[in-house]
Amino acid sequence: DAKLVRPFQILKNNEYNLSKPISHYAISEEVNKSIFIFGGIVESRRRAKFSNKLFRFSIPNKTLLEVNIDKSNVSMPQPRVGATITYIPTPFPHLILFGGVTESGKFKNDLWMFNIIKLEWEEINSSGEIPPPIELHTTTLWGKFIIVVGGLIKENSKYATSEDIYWLDLVNVKWHSTNGNILTSRANHSMILTHDDLFLFGGFQIDDSDKQVTGKLDKDSYINIHENIIKNSKIIDDLTSINIGKL
């Protein structure tokens, strides 16, 4: 039905030289009729590069604007792909960036906060059972916690899909974790929260450690290596629920 599903034309703003993210970017939930988009792969002179730009898409105005951040006085997260950003409304509106992979192929587990009012990035130090460097995971806000499920990790030069469940206490900035199982071992999946239940759908699972993909991971090989990882993985087509109220 053309009235039900329709293309959404984005109006560019000529004030900025936009290199729009092509894929593997992080996207937020709706924030005051806007959606934030961070990082991802962009095209530059017909070559792929990783980005650390932050865009704000206005739903009413259909405009995509690069957020004008003063890069001279503040630290910035490295350009990366496969990260997540989570919107936190209190005590002031901000985004939490977690994980991803840099242009050199380094997996990250750092935390960054973006203050939506001041338009500033700040790196956050955390403690506790910190997740391993990870990408292609999912995050969501549940009360005062950010929940992290699944993702692709690299241990001892071998790729694996994480099955553990992590949650970050935003008050104490402390991580906690619990063991998952084969149902939560996945990456590049979708996740949605309904009350106290998380629903996971899709993704891929590395179920045979002998079928390992080799080669240097960097911005030029990222797509090809991940295509090969998926070819050697199990594609998940089930729906799994997690009652996080029992964690």
- Bridge partners, 50 (sequence order): 41
> Is this structure's pTM higher than 0.85?
yes
The pLDDT, as a whole number, for residue 159 is 92
CA dist 100 and 122 (Å) reads: 17
CA dist 62 and 49 (Å) reads: 26
In tens digits, the chain (247 residues) has pLDDT values of 445 555 555 555 444 444 555 667 788 888 888 999 999 988 766 677 899 999 998 888 888 888 988 777 678 999 999 999 999 999 999 999 999 999 999 999 999 999 999 999 999 999 999 999 999 999 999 999 999 999 999 988 889 999 999 999 999 999 999 988 888 999 999 999 998 999 999 999 998 766 678 778 888 899 899 999 999 999 999 899 999 888 7
Element housing 230 (H / E): helix 222-231
* 127 touches 161 (CB < 8 A): no
CA dist 203 and 68 (Å) reads: 34
Collapsing DSSP to helix, strand or coil, 30 comes out as: coil
The pLDDT, as a whole number, for residue 44 is 67
CA dist 131 and 139 (Å) reads: 12
Q: How many other C-beta atoms lie within 10 A of the C-beta of residue 3?
A: 5
